[in-house]
Structure 1
Amino acid sequence: MRKTFALLLLFMMICSAGFSQYRKSVSILGDSYSTFEHYLQPDTNAVWYFPQPLNKNDVTSVGQTWWYKFIQESGYRLCVNNSFSGSTICHTGYQKADYSDRSFVTRMDNLGCPDIILIFGGTNDSWAGAPIGEYQYADWTKQDLYSFRPAMAYMLEHIRYRYPNVEVYFLLNCDLKAEINESVKTICAHYQVPCLELKGIDKQGGHPSVKGMQQIDEQLKVFLAGRQ
């Protein structure tokens, strides 16, 4: 009897230690704002941020990126960062090119098994002048996904079913077209996906600087803390 009790107690202690050490994992679905060389999955995704910067920007370390800072400072762990520089949420890219090989819609199935998903997109849809389309919450065709609103809705619905019981948040860049902002907020509200509207982010070459990365990190932490 004593031996059985001792084994049971040992088992409970091991389980308790395992749970206390568990760290939630975070996956990112993003564009250039969330890239850094050799920190993407797959590693063939296009990159904007490098240790030796190719662009006019002072971010030179992965530790300066918003997502790395957030994960490290919040005690989480990185699951997958599937970000692709220049990518749009919908299938339409710059000069109306077919971006179905890199769109958020195409990449959203490859985020691993996270506890939290952070989606940071819409910037290139705005900059590229992608078709806005109509609000559509069902019966999507592939052609529908070449417009922003249908693609945005399709993405959120699919992610909700593909990753059940996972926390999903959308980060909305500042300085985008009003119709993109309105569309993101409307569609996020429809799917009950919390949307962080970033404010006053410092940028160099259209992309967050070291200061801007810090601002994103800080605004995200405040936003999530307010939802506890």
Structure 2
Amino acid sequence: MNRNKKRYILPIVFCTAALFVFDVNADAAAGVPQADSVQSEAAGDIWQQQAELAAANEEAYRKAQEQYAAELAAYQQALLEQQAREKKEDQAQQNLAEAENVKTEETDGAASPTEAAPAVIPPAQSLQTLPQNGTIANGRLIAAGLLSAPVETPLKGKSISILGDSISTYQGYIPSGYACFYPETQNDVKDVTQTWWMQVLYNTGMRLAVNGSYSASAVCGDSQAEDSSAGCSTRRINELMGTDGTVPDVILVYMGANDFFRSMELGKFNGMTGRGEKYYTNFTEGYELMIQKLLRTYPASRIYCMTLIEANSGDHPRINEKGNTIADFNQRIKEIAAAYGLPVIDVHNCGMEVYELNHYTSDGTHPNKEGAAKMANYVTAMLLQTA
């Protein structure tokens, strides 16, 4: 039941009962026979039943909210634990490989004086190939703005932060304690240089302030809890600022997919409305609060709202339990962005059609290398056009 509707149950019933009693007393004054005690008891019973129903509904809503928060926290904790295990396993494999290399070097002997010893690249900085153009690139150098495509762009040297969900994560590049998706066993994005956002950095020459992306996070949720993962939360907004106090020149917002998948109420947008702090379950209200906080906290930053890539059900757009599609959520994102004068990067039109999602994603949701490259090229073009 809608919470706003609940608030009007008691006043309406109370007024009805009050009017009923008033009419009875008026009849009595006129000498009309009445069964006032029976009628009063009936009115009282109705009022009591409505009050109990409202209380029961409020309690059910509270329990559902607590269950949702607990399930989300458990899922995100499981992700963190899985990542810790994988990191430990990777380290063990790395140690084993290094031990084998040392053993091989001892067997082969030192390099001859006429040969130059190869440069040693730390494992955390292994060079990779960017998939879209074959350029050798290094994630840490790109993030620091020290390595980029060999072209000058108007964005070169500017700082950027990302407010996103799992699609924009990568282990080691998001704040400590944030749940992460990439790298993932079934997805072929195995290096940070293959993510859509790192390719955008490389192509534009921007440097990363903060990638504030949190796997499984939605726009909706608790807007003020210190440990909230909600996109509308003060925590998420504040943590887009660099640890050195850097205020990002550009902020990309890619949020809303998990609100769709969890069938959050889409809500209605009737123009700009001031939003307060609370637990949000309405996407429109939560998204508007998120935008309001971003504008207040980073008034000098260029903020871009990004639409969501499609979600499929076979070869057709997926419909959630509320009867909404990704297109419905994207339309709302565009409406809110327009009201606040913010540019939109319509990623939904980057070239991944609904019937092609199995080719461009690993699970119908998370882009693989090809999907990430499509996103990167589209976002890069839009940023450069509006720089």
Quickly name the TM-score band, shorter chain normalised. Answer: 0.7 to 0.9
1: CA distance between counterparts of 2:208 and 2:385? Answer: 22
Instruction: Count residues in correspondence.
Output: 197
Deviations 1:76-108 (A, max 9, x none): 11000111111101118xxxxx9x821111211
The structure with the largest helix share of the pair is 2
- Residue equivalent to 1:204: 362
1:72 paired residue number: 202
Point out the structure with the larger strand share.
1
What TM-score, normalized to structure 1?
0.80
The 1-side partners of 2:250 and 2:386 are apart by: 14
Letter in 2 for 1:150: E
Structure of higher RCO (CA pairs closer than 8 Å, 6+ residues apart): 1
Within 5 Å, give how 1:61-210 maps onto structure 2.
61-91=191-221, 101-106=228-233, 107-112=236-241, 113-135=247-269, 137-143=272-278, 145-175=280-310, 177=325, 178-198=327-347, 199=349, 200-201=351-352, 202-205=360-363, 206-210=365-369
- Secondary structure at the aligned position of 2:221 is classed as coil
* 1:161-180, Cα deviation, whole Å (9 max, x unpaired): 11011111111112152321
2:61 — aligned with what?
none
Deviates more, 1:120-129 or 1:130-139: 130-139
Using the size of structure 2 for normalisation, the TM-score is 0.48
Which of these residues, 179, 189, 209, is aligned with residue 46 of structure 1?
A: 179
C-alpha distance in 2, partners of 1:114/1:139? Answer: 25
| Distance (Å, rounded) in 1 between the aligned partners of 2:274 and 2:295 | 16
Q: What's the % identity of the aligned pairs? A: 29
Amino acid of the structure 1 residue aligned with 2:346 = E
- Structure of larger gyration radius: 2
Task: Provide Cα deviations, 1:134-181, integer angstroms capped at 9, x if missing partner.
Answer: 326334244473210011111112111110111111111121523211
| Regions of 4+ moved over 4 Å | none
Which digits, 9 at most, give the CA deviation of each residue in 1:10-47, with x for residues without a partner?
xxxxxxxxxxxx82111010000000111101x21111
Which residue of 2 is the match for residue 35 of structure 1? Answer: 169
- Does the 8 A contact of 1:35 with 1:47 survive in 2? yes
Q: Does 1:25 align with 2:25?
A: no
**CA contact 1:91–1:147 (8 Å) conserved in 2:** no
Query: What runs of 5+ residues in structure 1 fail to find an aligned partner?
Result: 1-21, 93-97
C-alpha RMSD of matched pairs (Å) = 2.0
Aligned equivalents of 2:342 and 2:289: distance in 1?
13
